Amino acid sequence: MAANQLEDVVQRWRTTEDFKPEDHELFLNAGHTCIAQGDYTQLLDFIKEEANQISNVITDQLICILLIIGRAQSTLQKSWDRGMFNTLCMKSLREPLLQVQLDREANMTEISPLWNFATEIMAILAVIQQSLPKILFYPLRGKEDTISEKDGFHLNESRACMAYLLFVQLIAIEVLPAVFSPVFVLQCNMEYINLLLSRKDESWILKGLDLHVKSLERVTDCSLPVELLELKPFHEVPKNLITIMIDCPIQHLRGKSLAVFQLFIEKLNGEAKHTFFRRIMKTSHHAGVESIIIKNIKNQVERCRKSAYDDSWFEGTPLISLLRETLILPQGHETDLLHGMDRVMESLNLLRYLLIQERKISTGIWTDLCHIADSYTKLLRLCLSMSKSYYGTELKRLREDKKIKAKEFKEASGKRSVQSLLVKPETLDNMPCEAQDKVLQCALVTYDLMESLVVHIEEITEDSQK
């Protein structure tokens, strides 16, 4: 009876595109009954049919099929082509599971069908593959020539989803042997993290960030060696994090990327941090990112000065070499101080902190530190003088124009106000009069603050020379 019902549903599937909810229910019930009676051949033949595998609607239907077949895992292990079933499971990891939110905590009232589906898929793969870590960490070699580049990329996407389910959602985590070290797991997962973060899709990016966090959390602080930074994924993942921090339009993804970026820094050992900081300062070309690195340099120096923390990479000669590359104005006297405000302010705070600490407890870098401070502040004073003069003149002209031609200001300001002066993310000359006035005033206040820090730094060095 069940076999006849299943045959009716299968024939309807083959002849119509409108597969109704009641047909799904009938398919499930008939399938369960067939499997309970040991008659699953018809189901397996149906899945094997190429036309059904490439159907545009196969994804939804595949969920039903695999949930049924999952009840017969032990029988499948003996009786059916594992390769075919493995292919179907891996395709299901990529679509739909990689495309949807699977956070169990987001639906506390009820467990979603997709969550159950993900659990079934991982359980089935554990049976037919015998080892999920083998799929993730040791993909079979020697088969590269037998699959196309596109299929290989899709397999990596499926593995990325598997890593997410295993390490973030903890589905089938019990099959992961304790022998794998946290550093090894991180190293293997970085390829999948990079793949997920390189996409401009919220669900992919979020999975990549979550996987990165879970992979890092088990790693001991200050333990990742500098050699890892030579591996390609350890180049690409920080670059992708920075891209998300700067360019992603979704605020919570930007914030989470920053948190993950900082967590990654905390896991690097001293030499790796030193190398990583130099690399980012040379390649990021973004004042906000550079300010994060400079703040981290200050934090590392502060730790080194505590008796319980010893790191020679942030004291003495290594520190001075890092400061010489960091405490500079990238465009010299033409540096846009308003655009680079974050970097400049953190640089001045770092200089002031180092001078005060070195004056209290000498570590032998005072002379070099004073030279760096003198070179930096002299050039910064020149930039400040030029910028304050320019912005002050523009503010004065703006207010004079407003008094003289208040009614015509909108028209005139487009021609006479500050020309092509960059203020993130738009140019000043495109702003209304009130906004221009506010920006110019804020710029002058910022420059005054920078100048006060410069004066303080100069006072520290001068007092010590007396």
Mean pLDDT (whole number) for 24-37: 64
- Work out the percent of the chain whose per-residue pLDDT is above 70: 68
Least confident of 35-49, 194-208, 316-330: 35-49
Q: Identify the helix (H) or strand (E) that includes residue 116.
A: helix 113-129
Helix 202-217 / helix 149-167 crossing angle, nearest 10 deg: 60
Flag whether pLDDT at 41 surpasses 80: no
Residues 6+ apart with CB under 8 A from 114: 63, 96, 97, 100, 102
What is the rounded distance in angstroms from the CA atom of residue 155 to the CA atom of residue 256? 27
Q: What is the pLDDT of residue 424?
A: 43
Q: Tell me the pLDDT tens digit for each residue of 146-205.
A: 555 555 667 899 999 999 999 999 998 888 888 899 999 999 999 999 999 999 899 999
Measured in Å, how far apart are the chain's first and last C-alpha atoms?
A: 103
Least confident of 201-205, 235-239, 246-250, 398-402: 398-402
Which spans in 335-365 are helix H? 341-360
pTM of this structure = 0.80
Query: Which residues, listed in sequence order, are joined to residue 211 by a DSSP beta bridge?
Result: none
Structure tokens at 42: 């018809």
Q: What is the pLDDT of residue 51?
A: 47
Q: What is the pLDDT of residue 78?
A: 52
396 against 247, higher pLDDT:
247
pLDDT grade for 420, boundaries at 50, 70 and 90: very low
What is the rounded distance in angstroms from the CA atom of residue 213 to the CA atom of residue 217? 6
Mean pLDDT (whole number) for 346-374: 94
Structure tokens at 148: 């196309």
Mean pLDDT (whole number) for 62-70: 53
Q: What is the pLDDT of residue 412?
A: 47
The string of DSSP codes covering 148-184 is: -HHHHHHHHHHHHHHHHHHHTS-TTGGGS-TTS-HHH
- Work out the percent of the chain whose per-residue pLDDT is above 90: 45
Q: What is the pLDDT of residue 67?
A: 52
Would you state the torsion angle of the CA atoms of residues 7, 12, 18, 23, taken in this order, to the nearest 10 degrees? -30
Least confident of 33-47, 61-75, 181-195, 445-459: 61-75
Q: What is the pLDDT of residue 422?
A: 40
Flag whether pLDDT at 50 surpasses 60: no
338 against 189, higher pLDDT:
189
What is the rounded distance in angstroms from the CA atom of residue 399 to the CA atom of residue 381? 27
What is the rounded distance in angstroms from the CA atom of residue 3 to the CA atom of residue 439? 76
226-234, long-range: CB < 8 A, 24+ apart = 226/268, 226/269, 226/271, 226/272, 226/275, 228/183, 228/187, 228/272, 229/272, 229/275, 229/276, 229/279, 231/187, 231/190, 233/190, 233/191, 233/193, 233/194, 234/190
pLDDT grade for 14, boundaries at 50, 70 and 90: low
Mean pLDDT (whole number) for 340-364: 94
Q: What is the pLDDT of residue 416?
A: 45
Which range of 186-190, 300-304, 305-309, 390-394 scores highest in mean pLDDT? It is 186-190
Q: What is the pLDDT of residue 48?
A: 53
466 against 453, higher pLDDT:
453
pLDDT grade for 435, boundaries at 50, 70 and 90: confident
Mean pLDDT (whole number) for 402-428: 50
Q: Strands 426-427 and 422-423, how do they pair?
A: antiparallel
What is the rounded distance in angstroms from the CA atom of residue 33 to the CA atom of residue 40? 9
Flag whether pLDDT at 62 surpasses 60: no
Flag whether pLDDT at 401 surpasses 80: no
Q: What is the pLDDT of residue 131?
A: 77
pLDDT grade for 44, boundaries at 50, 70 and 90: low
Mean pLDDT (whole number) for 101-105: 67
16 against 369, higher pLDDT:
369
Mean pLDDT (whole number) for 349-372: 94
Structure tokens at 91: 């395709």
Q: What is the pLDDT of residue 389?
A: 87
- Which of these, 233, 245, 334, lies nearest to 291 by C-alpha position? 245
CB atoms under 10 Å from CB of 250, counted, come to: 13
Residues 6+ apart with CB under 8 A from 382: 333
Flag whether pLDDT at 57 surpasses 50: no
- The single-letter DSSP state of residue 110 is S
Mean pLDDT (whole number) for 267-285: 96
Q: What is the pLDDT of residue 73?
A: 53
What is the rounded distance in angstroms from the CA atom of residue 436 to the CA atom of residue 440? 6
The string of DSSP codes covering 191-245 is: HHHHHHHTS--HHHHHHHHHHHHHHHHTSPTT-B-GGGGGSHHHHHHHHHHHHHH
CB 84 within 8 A of CB 47: yes
129 against 141, higher pLDDT:
129
